[in-house]
Amino acid sequence: MKRLILSLLAVCLSVGASAKIVLPKVLGSNMVLQQNSDVNLWGKADANAKVAITLSWDKAKIQTTADKEGRWAVKVATPKGSFEPQTITISDGEKVVLENVLIGDVWVTSGQSNMEMPVKGFGRQPVEHSYDYILSAAKDANRIRMFTVKKDRSYDKDLEDCAGGEWYCSSPESVAEMSATSYFFAAALKDAVDFPIGLITANWGGTRVESWMPLKALKEVVTPEQYEKKQTIHNIKPSELYCAMIAPIRNFTAKGFLWYQGCSNLSDNDHYDVMMARMVKQWREDWGDTENKMPFYYVMITPYSYGNSRAISYPRFVECQIRALKLIPNSGMAGSTDIGEEYCIHPAQKKEVGQRLAALAMAQTYGMKGFEPKAPLLESHSFADGKAKVKLSNCQMGLSPWYGEPVTGFEIAGADKIFHKAQASITAGNEVTVWSAEVKEPVAVRYSFRNFAPGNLTNLFGVPAVPFRTDNWNDVQ
């Protein structure tokens, strides 16, 4: 009996010494792989083990050998996107089968709580249209898939794998938990492109942009004094989320990125743009884009009191986000001037945000026409005869409201730098005339230039004009 027990123990130890193929959590059944690409597959096996990969869409068997630490990686060619489920078999003698894999486009989405906010909403903070989308989610099981990276932290040390996560097909239960902005983006995009959309989302509420970039990159764009301050200004330090939540997924081949973050960096309106631009460059390099070209679309943070509805910290930060458009190649910003809520930092209108991000992608990435996805921006201004005239871009078909209806959200000031509520009307296709009986000789005009002062100026597709000003009076509110 003693010999039998020892023999069984030896067999168990022998089996335990032979490692089964281990895949990173982001590679799994139900995933979406990037179409028309050489996508990365990687994992671990025994040291020097022979690893074979079989693809249902390709008769050829791919073989590789793990290194002395058991790591292996290959690139496999993917076909054009379709809704036909595929299978991937990976074997070192013992098979691991990934089932119900789709081929389409993959978008990586990230940010703080407004990107994290699920379709079902937060407690006492709803998401509009959530009920409709949750109840009808099953119809998109083969159109929208999402992987949510579990929250984790690592300071200045890249982790090989994320702490958790799983690919989910769309269903009422899964969609309720998915990032609303990301899901609404995919919901708007899927029918236009007619192939599956995969979403990998990594979010953490209340976090700063520094947490999502490595220390080396951060040091390149801030002063030594700023760098030291950023080590103590937040309970999550710089690099912690990049190392724990971005680094583990950066081998997963993707089409582009979505970003919804900024509220926690509100005071950094003098250098947020360069930090975000450097983060984007880093992410693109991580995903193999050495030319800094992968599409990157982000959301303008929404109006909110931010402690004082009449203050201008919010619109000054928006100016920083606008400057970033020139620093980040192939980027776009979704306007949100019209959907803020004065006393809730999580607006309920996530469908509009996702749709506007999708419109940017449809126009700039997929080459679709017939609409204008960009938010109107200040182009030029002039003063004459006691009135101001401002011209805007991204409104080739004109501005709304039209037919002489009043435009709200404008203020005007004279040389005394005291701003008064102004009257305004659209006097030409892309021109607004602004005036006030209290300002005889105006020298400055502002639109929605307070933390919460929503206006009604949009292009004819309903994309709202962003807050703007013609002055540089940072000390004037």
Mean pLDDT of 73-77: 98
The mean pLDDT of the chain is 95
In this predicted model, what pLDDT tens digit does every residue of 226-249 receive, in sequence order?
Answer: 999 999 999 999 999 999 999 999
Residue-wise pLDDT tens digits, 127-180: 999 999 999 999 999 999 999 999 999 999 999 999 999 999 999 999 999 999
pLDDT confidence tier of residue 74, bands split at 50, 70 and 90: very high
Q: What is the predicted pLDDT for the residue at 425?
A: 94
In the structure, what pLDDT confidence band is assigned to residue 13 with cuts at 50, 70 and 90? very low
Nearest Cα to 164, choosing from 176, 175, 152?
A: 152
Fold of 106-364: Rossmann fold (3.40.50)
pLDDT at 7: 43
Reply yes or no on whether the pLDDT at 3 is more than 60: no
Examine the pLDDT at 19 and tell me if it is beyond 80. Answer: no
User: Which of 322-331, 348-357, 423-432 is predicted least confidently?
Assistant: 423-432
4 vs 10, 90, 422, CA distance in Å?
A: 10, 35, 93
Tell me which residue has tokens 């690409």.
37
**What does residue 47 show for φ and ψ, rounded to 5 degrees?**
-55, 130
Mean pLDDT throughout 57-64? Answer: 94
Closest CA to 466 of 450, 452, 448: 448
pLDDT at residue 9, rounded to an integer: 39
Would the pLDDT of 17 be above 80? Answer: no
Query: Are 14-103 and 106-364 in the same CATH fold?
Result: no
Q: What percent of the chain has pLDDT over 70?
A: 96
- Note the pLDDT tens digit of each residue in 410-453: 999 999 999 999 999 998 889 999 999 999 999 999 999 999 99
The predicted-structure confidence for 257-313, as pLDDT tens digits, reads as follows 999 999 999 999 999 999 999 999 999 999 999 999 999 999 999 999 999 999 999
Q: Cα-Cα-Cα-Cα dihedral of 9, 12, 14, 20, to 10°?
A: -170
- Residue 199 reports pLDDT greater than 70: yes
Asked if 179 contacts 146 with a C-beta cutoff of 8 angstroms, the reply is yes
pLDDT > 90 in the chain, percent: 94
pTM score > 0.85 for this model? yes
pLDDT of residue 428: 84
Alpha-carbon span 383 to 389, nearest angstrom = 6
How many Cβ atoms sit within 10 Å of the Cβ of residue 235? Answer: 9
pLDDT digits (tens, 9 = 90+) for 358-408: 999 999 999 999 999 999 999 999 999 999 999 999 999 999 997 778 999
pLDDT for residue 16: 38
Listed by start position, the domains of the chain span 14-103, 106-364, 378-469
Backbone angles phi, psi at 387, to 5 degrees: -135, 160
pLDDT above 90 (res 223): yes
CATH of range 14-103; options 2.60.40.10, 3.90.79.10, 3.40.50.720, 3.90.1150.10: 2.60.40.10
Judge whether 473 and 444 are in contact, CB under 8 Å.
yes
